């Protein structure tokens, strides 16, 4: 299971969202569960809730995705860097042929986008 946290899910995890905490625990404790934090979304989450970036980056079950050249080119064509980097990270790759699911507490943001969403709203 491959899951990408958007900035709303990251900020929610920092505020103690139970569903986000369960995802983090599962990614750390259970084989086959992968949790990703795109760098651009991590920045936005930290702006919304200072300290979030350091906290999430220190967790062993979360992989921070850097803004490499292909991601930068995808981000350049969008309105917000955070959402663009999350959507780019959720796309299918050789390692993730089915892509990844976006975990969010703002599911309305993803309406009309070609992504699968996991609503973490309690």
Nearest to 114 by CA among 91, 80, 81, 95: 91
In this prediction the pTM is 0.93
Sequence-ordered list of residues with C-beta below 8 angstroms from that of 20, at least 6 positions apart, any chain: 5, 9, 10, 12, 13, 103, 105, 120
Identify which has the larger pLDDT, 55 or 77.
55
Over 90: is that where the pLDDT of 95 sits? no
Confidence of residue 112 (pLDDT cuts 50, 70, 90): very high
């Amino acid at each position: 299971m491959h899951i990408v946290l958007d900035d709303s899910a990251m900020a929610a995890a920092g505020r103690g969202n139970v569903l986000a905490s369960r995802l983090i625990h599962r990614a750390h404790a259970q084989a086959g569960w992968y949790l990703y934090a795109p760098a651009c979304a991590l920045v936005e989450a930290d702006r919304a809730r200072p300290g979030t970036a350091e906290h999430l980056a220190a967790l062993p079950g979360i992989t921070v995705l850097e803004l490499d050249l292909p991601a930068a080119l995808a981000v350049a064509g969008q309105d917000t860097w955070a959402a663009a980097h999350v959507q780019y990270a959720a796309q299918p790759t050789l390692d993730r042929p089915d892509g990844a699911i976006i975990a969010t507490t703002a599911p309305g943001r993803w309406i009309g986008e070609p992504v699968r969403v996991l609503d973490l709203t309690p």
